[in-house]
Structures are given as C-alpha cells and as structure tokens.
C-alpha cells in the first residue's frame, strides 16, 4: 500500500510502502470502545473514601441517658445519624482498572490507524526537524495541512528541540513517542502526523509474533 511522504512544507518527497495488516484492516468499533474504556478506567484514581463507624474519631460513651430525655436511645455519637458521625454505605478505595489482553490492544490500535488512514487523516512526514523555534514559523507551515487538531508521532530516537519549543504554544497540538500511541489519542485528534522513521517501529511493534506452541 503506497503513501506519499511529505515534508513540513506539504511537498511530496517520496513514496513509502505501508503494511496493509497495520494500516488496512477493517473497522472494529466494539474493540475500539473497549480499549477506550480500558484507558479511562486505568487512569481513574479511585481514591474516594469515607469513614465507617470504626474509623470515626470519638468515644463510645453514651451521648445522653438511656431514659428520660424523650430521644431514641443511642450507644455513641458515631452512627451516621449524628453530625460528624460515620457515612452509611459510602465509597471506599478501589481499583477501577481491568485487564485487556495484548492481542486485543494490538488489534484495536491497528483498527484505529486503519480508520484514520481510510479517512485520509494520516500524514507521513520525512522529519520533524526545523531550523526555527518560533511558533509563528511552524504555524505558517502547518496551516497548509488544514487540520483542526493534530497529533505528531515521532520515533524512539527523539524529536527536534526546536519543534518541541515551536509547537508548545500551538492549540490542539500534541507530541507523542511511537511507544505511547494509543486508541484514545488516535481517535481524539483530527490528523495524525507520523514521522517516517517511526513507521518501521510501529509496524514491528504491532505485528503478530509467530510462536510455536509445544504440547507436553
């Protein structure tokens, strides 16, 4: 599958072959939804908590006499019906995350990349190196791509410091190492700019590894 490699001036540099097993699979909305749920649950803190009767600070002495006051009898001032008392059936610390196996993760990522590719939202850039660190210079180049929001994916070798500085003030623009690509960001951003050097890294990481199963 052929795809043009452009520079940051939006001019064609050369063509590149993309693996159809990574950028050309069918749409899997259910799996993509499951992956986004997995991401949201994993990032959720779950640190909410309230005190039970045993955790409330105070004495276990009766707050008033058993009889003669006209009130219902009470054993302490820790029950939920007292001000400053415990919370009945309140939230406790918990872990919201759940497991998603590696095959499902890879398949969801490949499906998200394929969706963006079919929508012509994937742009292959030869390099993110720029001479100027000024935001206005980078913005004048990027506006030629006609994007609403953009995600720039670079290779493991890092990214040009001038590009980081110039893009830091651009709204709705994010930079991500190819190791950190995820379905949520791929779906969230309008256009995905992928550095040419990271294509092989992404293809290698998302390819199925052939394993020989041995039965004993």
Given 57, 72, 95, which residue is the final one in a domain? 95
Residue 215 lies in a domain: no
pLDDT of 1 reads: 84
Residue 81 lies in a domain: yes
Cβ proximity of 154 and 167 under 8 Å: no
Residue 211 lies in a domain: no
Give per-residue pLDDT as tens, 29-87: 999 999 999 999 999 988 999 999 889 998 888 988 999 999 999 889 899 989 989 99
pLDDT of 59 reads: 82
Residue 212 lies in a domain: no
pLDDT category of residue 212 using cuts at 50, 70 and 90 = very low
Residues 31 and 125 in one domain: yes
Give per-residue pLDDT as tens, 129-143: 999 999 999 999 999
């Amino acid at each position: 599958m052929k795809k043009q490699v452009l520079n940051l001036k939006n001019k064609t540099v050369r063509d590149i072959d993309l693996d159809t097993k990574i950028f050309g699979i069918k749409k899997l909305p259910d799996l993509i939804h499951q992956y986004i749920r997995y991401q949201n649950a994993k990032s959720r803190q779950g640190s909410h908590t309230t005190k039970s009767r045993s955790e409330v600070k105070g004495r276990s002495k009766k707050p008033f006499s058993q009889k003669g006051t006209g009130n219902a009898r009470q054993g302490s001032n820790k029950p939920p019906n007292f001000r400053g008392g415990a919370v009945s059936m309140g939230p406790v610390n918990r872990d919201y995350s759940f497991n998603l196996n590696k095959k499902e993760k890879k398949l969801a990522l490949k499906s998200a990349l394929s969706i963006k590719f079919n929508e012509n939202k994937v742009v292959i850039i030869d390099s993110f190196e720029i001479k100027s660190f000024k935001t206005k210079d980078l913005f004048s180049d990027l506006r030629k791509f006609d994007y609403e929001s953009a995600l720039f994916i670079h290779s493991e070798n890092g990214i040009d410091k001038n590009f980081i500085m110039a893009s830091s003030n651009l709204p709705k623009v994010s930079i991500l190492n190819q190791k950190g690509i995820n379905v949520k960001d791929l779906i969230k951003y309008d256009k995905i700019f992928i550095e040419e050097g990271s294509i092989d890294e992404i293809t290698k990481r998302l390819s199925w590894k052939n394993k020989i199963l041995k039965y004993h």
